[in-house]
Structure 1
Amino acid sequence: MGAAVAACAASVGARVLWCPAGRSSATVRRAEKAGLEPVAELRELLAQAEVVLSLCPPAAAEAVAREAAEHRFSGVYVEGNAISPERTERIAGLVGRSARAVVDGAVIGSPPVGGKATRLFLSGPADATSLVAGLFAGSSVSTPVLGEEIGAASALKVAYTTYQKASRVVAALSYGLAHHHGVDQALLDVAGARPGSYLLETDYIAKTAMRAWRWAPELEEAADTLIASGLPDEVMRAVATTLRRWGTAKDNAELTVEQALELLAGGNNSEFS
């Protein structure tokens, strides 16, 4: 997602920097394909950049922000990760000691490649959100603004994640149950009477499994946000636990539906926390 969003900014004329230090060969290939400009040291990158867009796994969000703060980044910092509003506020307090402004961001949609479009929702100071929106004007990334409150964009992302990703897991469990009892085709026939049901998208079970390493922490963030909102968190905790059964499927594009169901039934195969 990060490389795809960055490529959209580069495609409409923005100079987009990235730091290859400590990154994998796969990341290097994605950055090169996206047309990003490498900068050897993070300190140098932060000194040159007017805007930093943080898109990383939820668990790394504060570590990334801490690095920016340690180097006293003075531009606009966009916290674009799938984290709770409370964590976003903490990050804003940390980075805001030196940054000109902090913007709360939420990416909703598929990576903007192959003709697909996505939305980067923004909330924060008007001049800063306007600057960020301008970087993507005319690209496949639209930038709706939700107002000036830090946490608003994060709340939207978590609310959407709560339904969309949990529904994918519930659909996988439903299909796995029917498959185990030999009534999977009958289940699909019943689901076909309700167009748009995730039950009909059986190919997505394998995609869910390969993304589980990212989704489980996102749903823990959702659970934390539910508790902070006075709502029960048990469902999201359970879904996150279920996703951890797919720990060995990380980024396995060759995984089949049958293999994903075997992992799901095989107990705790977690390789991530």
Structure 2
Amino acid sequence: MGAAVAACAASTGSQVLWCPTGRSAATVQRAAQAGLEPVRELGELFERAEVVLSLCPPAAAEDVARDVAGRGFAGVYVEGNAISPERSQRIADLVGRSARAVLDGSVIGSPPAGGKSTKLFLSGPSDAAKLVSAVFAGTAVSTPVLGEEVGQASALKAAYTTYQKASRVLAALSYGLAQHHGVGQALLDVAGTRQGSYLVETDYIAKAATRAWRWAPELEEAADTLIASGLPDEVMRAVASTLRRWTDAKDNSALSVEDALEMLRESS
């Protein structure tokens, strides 16, 4: 996602910097393909950049923010990770000590490549949001602005994740149960009469398994957001727990639906 979003920014003529120190060969290759300009170390990046966009696994969001804050970044910081509004506010308070502005952001959609598009929702100071929107103008990344309150973009992501990703896990469990009792096709036939049912998209079970290492932390963030909103969090915690049974499937493009279901059964 990060490389694809960065490529869209580079396509508008913006100079997009990145630091290859400590990164994998695959990451270096993606950055080169995206047209990104390497810098020797992060300090140089923060000195030269007007905008920093953070896109990383949820668990690393505050570590990244501390690194940025510790180097006195003075531009616009976009916290674009799938974290709770409360964590977004903590990061805004931290980075905002030196930054010109901090925007809350959330990415919803597929990586913007190969004809696909995505939305980078923003909330926070309007002048900073206009600057970020200009960076992506005319690209496959649209930048809807939700308001000036830090946390709104994160809340939208948590709300969307609560339904979308949990639904995929429930569909996998439903299909696995039906298949175990020899009525898998009957379930698909019934689901096929319901428009837009995830139950008929059995191929996505394997995809969900390979992404579980990212999805489980996102759903924990969604659970935190639910409880902070006065709503029960037990369902999201349970779905996150189920996703963690697929941790070893990380990025396994050869994983089959049967393999994914077997991993769930073996962990029971």
Q: TM-score range by the shorter chain?
A: over 0.9
Q: How many residues align?
A: 268
Task: Provide the TM-score with structure 2 as the length reference.
Answer: 0.99
Aligned to 1:53: 53
TM-superposed deviation, 1:181: 1.0
Match of 2:196 in 1: 196
Runs of 4+ with >6 A deviation:
none
Partner residue, 1:187: 187
Query: Counterpart of 1:16?
Result: 16
Distance 1:85 1:195 in 2: 33
Instruction: Output the amino acid matched with 1:122.
Output: L
Note the aligned Cα RMSD (angstroms).
Answer: 0.7
Q: Which runs of 5+ in 2 are unaligned?
A: none
Q: Quote the residue 2:65 is aligned against.
A: 65
Match in the other structure for 2:266: 266
Distance 1:257 1:172 in 2: 9
Within 2, Cα distance between the matches of 1:38 and 1:184?
51
Tell me if 1:155 matches 2:159: no
Structure 1 residues 6-49: Cα deviation after superposition (integer angstroms, max 9, x where no partner):
11111111111111111111111111111111111001111000
Which sections of structure 1, spanning at least 5 residues, go unmatched? 269-273
Q: TM-score, normalised by structure 1?
A: 0.97
Q: Distance between the aligned counterparts of 1:257 and 1:26, measured in 2?
A: 26
| 1:72 CA displacement | 0.4
Aligned residue for 1:134, secondary structure, equals helix
1:220 is aligned with what amino acid? E
SS in 1 for 2:194: coil
Amino acid at match of 1:124: G
Q: Give distance in 2, aligned partners of 1:33 and 1:184.
A: 42
Amino acid across the alignment from 1:252: N
Structure 2 CA distance for aligned equivalents of residues 254 and 38 of structure 1: 32
Alpha-carbon offset, residue 152 of structure 1:
0.5
Q: Aligned to 1:224, what secondary structure does the other structure show?
A: helix
Residue equivalent to 1:6: 6
Cα distance between partner residues in 2 of 1:177 and 1:254: 23
2: distance between equivalents of 1:227 and 1:23? 36
CA-CA distance at 1:58 after TM superposition: 0.1
Amino acid at match of 2:156: L
CA distance in 2, matches of 1:96, 1:107: 21
The correspondence of residues 64-103 of structure 1 with structure 2, limited to 5 A, is 64-103=64-103
Aligned residue for 2:146, secondary structure, equals coil
The sequence identity of aligned pairs, in percent, is 78
Q: Aligned partners of 1:20, 1:179: CA distance in 2, in Å?
A: 46
Q: Residue 83 of structure 1: SS of its match in structure 2? A: coil
Which residue in the other structure is 2:232 paired with? 232
- The residue matched to 1:115 in structure 2 has which SS? coil
For 1:56 and 1:179, the matched residues in 2 are separated by: 36
Task: Supply the AA of the counterpart residue of 2:240.
Answer: A
Query: What are the superposed Cα offsets for residues 242-267 of structure 1, whole Å, 9 maximum, x if unpaired?
Result: 00000110011111111101111110
In the TM superposition, what whole-angstrom CA distance separates every residue of 1:39-94 from its partner, at most 9, and x where no partner exists? 11001111000000000000000000000000000000000000000000000000
Residue identity matched to 1:81? N
State how far apart, in whole Å, the 2-side matches of 1:184 and 1:64 are. Answer: 45
Describe the SS at the equivalent of 1:72: coil
Q: How does 1:103-122 map to 2 (within 5 A)?
A: 103-122=103-122
Q: What secondary structure sits across from 1:146 in the alignment?
A: strand
Structure 2 counterpart of 1:271 = none
Q: In the alignment, what sits opposite 1:212?
A: 212
| Separation in structure 2 between the aligned mates of residue 169 and residue 263 of structure 1, nearest angstrom | 13
